[in-house]
């Protein structure tokens, strides 16, 4: 039996009655006076709690009152302020909602997740199977096997023009971990992390986890969602520690042209404290004539850039959980240290599979170019389908597998039986309920005027989804609704 009780401090953010129970009246009496140490071993009576109140200075924001062997016991459920400062992922929330609808028999088309719909290429899967069969199932070095780090160095040299040695690489359980570790490794409390918007949902939250402050620099659809170097220059201070660039971008699919990166590099070079994380995980999913440029390859940028890449997207290996970071040894050794006290080395099996992935040829060879060709067809289809819709603004993606459409023209519309569509979240809810298509609201990515469509789905699903979205949107245009 457990009852949630509220706390006394106005600074507390988690304080509410949740369940009704015989303890509720008791806890409501005490909720205005309860304060004690979180050292809660032993059975506590009300009297002892009150005694502790006067003795200890720490405050309980939230607690559960439980019954154990007929005794009452209080458990402090207060969470770290660090956790309370982090927002839960909207991408995950909408994906879960869509999954629940599918499980209830509603034929929802799920275009919310950032995951290729292809199987991992057979040669990679086979390398993983061989690793298991051959007993390659033990811990690897913390930073990754020398075999894989050597293969990564070769890839970075040949495809990106970047020279690294294996001790300048750390392999992790996904690029997500690589980015978090890098932020934790270089940011001090109060440092600023510059995040151009629209951004991948995790960047600002990771900055918060490191007790740093995310500074969001908006880029508009008319600029193809690319950061304006002048805006960057105007926002840099002595607290600016990191700039996070993502090209090709999630959620916009924008690709930074080399000239623009050079302008950004000239601004960065004026600030000795400023480092750059260059997230290049969508590098291979790019549509010519767009060309990928690694930020670290620009003059003077190698020394201050941490290049992140991984296997999830281009090689359709999301579940294998493998990413990596490359950079100057001083920073990479710090990432390695953090990893050594958290997860240790990534999966030995995945690392063998990743060696096979890097052996498939330049930019992933035939298997990857086959997937990129399919993504391009889908992008072309969606772009022309949505160009037919009045009021929708489009910046044609040059890479990744997302379309970030500006639907703000339709905000302010009242729909019978649904209510007001006032922002990207209500529009996505409407499209889920009315059109049975799961999309992600742009406000999760720092731009409320847009919604994100992931086109990592079959062309026939995308055709059905586009029809449903258009139909649902056209309903909004009827005179009774506008």
- Choosing from 279, 283, 406, 447, the residue that interacts with ligand PLP (CB under 6 A) is 279
- Determine the longest span between alpha carbons in the chain, in angstroms: 74
Contacts of 274 (CB under 8 A, 6+ apart): 236, 240, 241, 242, 243, 268, 304
What is the size of the binding site for ligand PLP (CB under 6 A)?
Answer: 13
On whether the CB atoms of residues 87 and 205 are closer than 8 A, the answer is yes
HSE-CB at 14 with a 13 A cutoff on CA atoms is: 16
Which of the ranges 127-135, 137-145, 173-181, 253-261 carries the binding residues for ligand PLP, by CB under 6 A?
173-181
DSSP 140: -
Contacting ligand PLP within 331-370 (CB under 6 A)? none
Smallest distance, Å, CB 318 to ligand PLP?
Answer: 5
Choice between 31 and 250, CB closer to ligand PLP: 250
By the rule CB under 6 A, 280 interacts with ligand PLP: no
Smallest distance, Å, CB 246 to ligand PLP?
Answer: 5
Choice between 214 and 435, CB closer to ligand PLP: 214
- Choosing from 31, 61, 114, 397, the residue that interacts with ligand PLP (CB under 6 A) is 114
What are all long-range contacts of 26-32, with beta carbons under 8 Å and residues at least 24 apart?
Answer: 26/65, 27/3, 27/63, 27/65, 30/5, 31/5, 31/6, 31/7, 32/8
From residue 284, alpha-carbon distances to 163, 210, 364, 453 in Å are 19, 30, 8, 20
Choose among 374, 319, 282: nearest CA to 124: 319
Choice between 23 and 320, CB closer to ligand PLP: 320
**Token pair 């995945």: residue:** 350
On whether the CB atoms of residues 281 and 310 are closer than 8 A, the answer is yes
By the rule CB under 6 A, 250 interacts with ligand PLP: yes
Choice between 182 and 246, CB closer to ligand PLP: 246
Choice between 174 and 364, CB closer to ligand PLP: 174
Choice between 34 and 354, CB closer to ligand PLP: 354
Smallest distance, Å, CB 175 to ligand PLP?
Answer: 3
By the rule CB under 6 A, 176 interacts with ligand PLP: yes
Contacting ligand PLP within 219-248 (CB under 6 A)? 246
Choice between 323 and 397, CB closer to ligand PLP: 323
Which of the ranges 11-19, 172-180, 372-380, 411-419 carries the binding residues for ligand PLP, by CB under 6 A?
172-180
By the rule CB under 6 A, 200 interacts with ligand PLP: yes
Choice between 308 and 427, CB closer to ligand PLP: 308
Contacting ligand PLP within 312-331 (CB under 6 A)? 312, 318, 323
Smallest distance, Å, CB 377 to ligand PLP?
Answer: 21
Contacts of 234 (CB under 8 A, 6+ apart): none
CA distance 354 to 310: 9
On whether the CB atoms of residues 425 and 372 are closer than 8 A, the answer is no
Q: Which two tokens stand for residue 165?
A: 């040695």
Smallest distance, Å, CB 343 to ligand PLP?
Answer: 12
Smallest distance, Å, CB 374 to ligand PLP?
Answer: 19
Choice between 191 and 279, CB closer to ligand PLP: 279
Choice between 75 and 92, CB closer to ligand PLP: 92
Burial (CB count within 10 angstroms: exposed 0-12, middle 13-18, buried 19+), residue 369: middle
Smallest distance, Å, CB 30 to ligand PLP?
Answer: 44
Smallest distance, Å, CB 427 to ligand PLP?
Answer: 22
CA distance 342 to 459: 41
What are all long-range contacts of 331-337, with beta carbons under 8 Å and residues at least 24 apart?
Answer: 331/182, 331/185, 331/186, 331/275, 331/306, 332/167, 332/168, 332/169, 332/170, 332/306, 333/167, 334/185, 334/186, 335/170, 335/178, 335/181, 335/182, 335/185, 336/142, 336/143, 336/170, 337/185
Q: Which two tokens stand for residue 353?
A: 């599979």
Choice between 433 and 443, CB closer to ligand PLP: 443
- Choosing from 144, 174, 442, 446, the residue that interacts with ligand PLP (CB under 6 A) is 174
Site string for ligand PLP, 72-111 (x = CB under 6 A): ----------------------------------------
Choice between 175 and 195, CB closer to ligand PLP: 175
User: Where do the DSSP E strands lie in 134-212?
Assistant: 169-172, 192-197
Beta bridge partners of 243: 194, 276
Smallest distance, Å, CB 174 to ligand PLP?
Answer: 3
Smallest distance, Å, CB 244 to ligand PLP?
Answer: 9
Residue 479 backbone phi and psi in degrees, to 5: -55, -30
The residue of the chain with the least Cβ separation from ligand PLP equals 174
Smallest distance, Å, CB 459 to ligand PLP?
Answer: 22
- Interface with ligand PLP by CB under 6 A: which residues? 114, 174-176, 200, 246, 250, 279, 281, 310, 312, 318, 323
């Amino acid at each position: 039996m457990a009852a949630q009780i509220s706390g006394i401090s106005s600074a507390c953010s988690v304080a509410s009655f949740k369940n009704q129970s015989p303890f509720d009246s008791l806890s409501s009496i005490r909720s205005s006076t309860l304060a004690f140490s979180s050292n809660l071993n032993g059975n506590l009576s009300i009297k002892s709690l009150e005694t502790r109140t006067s003795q200890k200075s720490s405050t309980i924001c939230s607690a559960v009152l439980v019954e154990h062997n007929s005794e009452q016991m209080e458990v402090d459920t207060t969470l770290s302020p660090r956790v309370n400062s982090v927002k839960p992922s909207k991408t995950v929330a909408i994906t879960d909602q869509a999954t629940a609808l599918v499980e209830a028999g509603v034929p929802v088309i799920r275009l919310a997740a950032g995951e290729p719909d292809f199987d991992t290429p057979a040669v990679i899967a086979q390398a993983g199977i061989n690793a298991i069969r051959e007993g390659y199932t033990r811990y690897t070095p913390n930073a990754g096997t020398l075999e894989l780090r050597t293969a990564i160095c070769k890839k970075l040299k040949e495809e990106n023009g970047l020279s690294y040695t294996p001790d300048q690489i750390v392999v992790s359980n996904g690029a997500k971990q690589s980015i978090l570790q890098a932020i934790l490794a270089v940011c001090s409390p109060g440092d600023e992390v510059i995040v151009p918007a629209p951004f991948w949902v995790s960047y600002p939250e990771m900055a918060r986890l490191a007790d740093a402050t995310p500074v969001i620099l908006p880029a508009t659809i008319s600029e193809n969602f690319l950061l304006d170097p002048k805006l960057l220059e105007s926002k840099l201070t002595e607290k600016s520690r990191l700039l996070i660039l993502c090209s090709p971008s999630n959620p916009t699919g924008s690709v930074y042209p080399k000239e623009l990166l050079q302008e950004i590099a000239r601004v960065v070079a004026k600030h000795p404290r400023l480092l750059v994380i260059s997230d290049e995980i969508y590098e291979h999913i790019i549509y010519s004539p767009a060309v990928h440029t690694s930020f670290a390859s620009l003059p003077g940028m190698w020394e201050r850039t941490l290049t992140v890449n991984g296997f999830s997207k281009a090689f359709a290996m999301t579940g294998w959980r493998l990413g990596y970071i490359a950079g100057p040894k001083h920073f990479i050794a710090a990432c390695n240290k953090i990893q050594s006290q958290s997860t240790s080395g990534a999966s030995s099996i995945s690392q063998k599979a990743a060696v096979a992935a890097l052996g498939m040829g330049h930019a992933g060879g035939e298997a990857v170019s086959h997937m990129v060709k399919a993504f391009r067809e889908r992008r072309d289809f969606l772009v022309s389908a949505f160009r037919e819709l009045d009021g929708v603004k489009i910046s044609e993606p040059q890479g990744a597998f997302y379309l970030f459409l500006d639907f703000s023209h339709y905000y302010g519309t009242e729909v019978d039986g649904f209510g007001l569509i006032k922002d990207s979240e209500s529009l996505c809810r409407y499209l889920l309920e009315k059109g049975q298509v799961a999309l992600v609201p742009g406000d999760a990515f720092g731009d409320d005027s847009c919604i994100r469509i992931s086109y990592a789905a079959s062309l026939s699903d995308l055709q059905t989804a586009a029809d449903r979205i258009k139909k649902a949107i056209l309903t909004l245009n009827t005179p009774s609704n506008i």
